[in-house]
Amino acid sequence: MSGFCSAEIEAVEEFGEGIQLASVILEDGRTGKALSFERFTGPLSPGDEVVINTIALDLALGSGGYHFVLWNLGRKSLDATGEGHIMKLRYTPLQFNVRAVEEELDPLETGELGSVLDGIPVISGSLHSQLLAAVLAYRDARPDAVLVYVMTDGGSLPSSFSKTVAFLKEKRLIDSVITCGHAFGGDLEAVNIFGALTAARLVRRADAVIALMGPGIVGTGSAVGFSGMEQAQIADAASMLGGRAIIIPRITFADPRERHRGFSHHSLSVLRLVACRPALVPLPVMEPEKATVVREQIERAGLGEVHRFHELDAVGALDLLERSGFEVTVMGRGLRDDPEFFMAAGAAGLFAARMGG
């Protein structure tokens, strides 16, 4: 393992907005693929010598199978400054400034903040793979509503890394993207989830919001050591700001790990340990045996005493996903391999649409 090494660029192609995918030859002769974010490296060309970060692949982590370009050794300088004075990736060598949307908001009294969302539904997810199903189900029922996606920093930080977001923007299925925390690249930048939700309503006039991390989740297998814990904080923020908090449960019967079977231990931790305020939790209609497993898990955890569960027929979400033409996966499993996972996300989108707002 080297972690960082030099490499030569063989070929370059476009990966996404502001991202290049380079074929590289590492200094030890190995070949591979490396992603380069033009904001930090400028454009690359074949023959360029670069420094790359190989740590994720060295550790066989789920980085999508890519190295990352840190710097083009042929470049002496790069103007990466933006507007505003709020720094993202703070106190790292890659920190850069943005204009945070909170700087543009009128000062609000504490009392006003408690009703700023004006009762709109805020769907909180824990995995990026829940995004498309929730959006499609909502949009199918509310085609003319203003729907805003808030991307948190629990996974990928650059929004342009997400193929799902690019698809949703291209098809005009979402009206705006707000990146908060250290996530960046949205139509608006926010300091935190409170600012992002406030801006979604006051600046983008959202009728509904879907807030969840970018691609990739950090997990350790423990009840608390995963970045999806932020789901509770999103829901609490929505409730505190006067929105109606909807939590997408992580439900699967295809994951080989027992801790995720049925109502995942991630969702149990979010709802039982972290969420400070009651939330709405839509459940998809499932086969009787599977539904029994989930209901018993919810009952044993005492979740029904705090949160409100609603059952919806969300099988239509699977058809919407298939008709979209966009291939969705969760942990490498496709739509028909893990239908309950995607139906749960679709149920949240459908539930939000039926609430109005």
Q: How far apart are CA 209 and CA 151, in angstroms?
A: 10
Which pLDDT score, from 0 to 100, does residue 64 have?
64
Which pLDDT score, from 0 to 100, does residue 223 have?
78
Is 122 in the same domain as 52?
Answer: no
Which pLDDT score, from 0 to 100, does residue 88 have?
95
- Taking residue 352's Cβ as centre, other Cβ atoms within 10 Å add up to 29
Which pLDDT score, from 0 to 100, does residue 56 have?
85
Say which CATH number the domain at 24 has: 2.40.50.140
What total number of domains does the chain contain? 2
Residue 92 located in a structural domain: no
6-44 pLDDT, tens digit each: 999 999 999 989 999 999 999 989 899 999 999 999 999
The pair of three-digit structure tokens given for residue 73, joined into one six-digit string = 């050794």
Q: What is the CA radius of gyration of the chain?
A: 21
Q: How far apart are CA 212 and CA 186, in angstroms?
A: 13
- Please return the burial class of 159, using the count of CB atoms within 10 Å of its CB with bins 0-12, 13-18 and 19+: buried
Is 57 in the same domain as 123?
Answer: no
Q: What angle do CA 147, 150, 153 make, to 5 degrees?
A: 165
Is 113 in the same domain as 64?
Answer: no
- Taking 70 as the pLDDT cut, the residues of the chain under it are 1-2, 62-64, 109-111, 357
269-309 pLDDT, tens digit each: 999 999 999 999 999 999 999 999 999 999 999 999 999 99
153-166 pLDDT, tens digit each: 999 999 999 999 99
Q: How far apart are CA 298 and CA 344, in angstroms?
A: 15
Is 35 in the same domain as 133?
Answer: no
The pair of three-digit structure tokens given for residue 286, joined into one six-digit string = 């499932």
Domain interval for residue 184:
102-355
- Please return the burial class of 81, using the count of CB atoms within 10 Å of its CB with bins 0-12, 13-18 and 19+: exposed
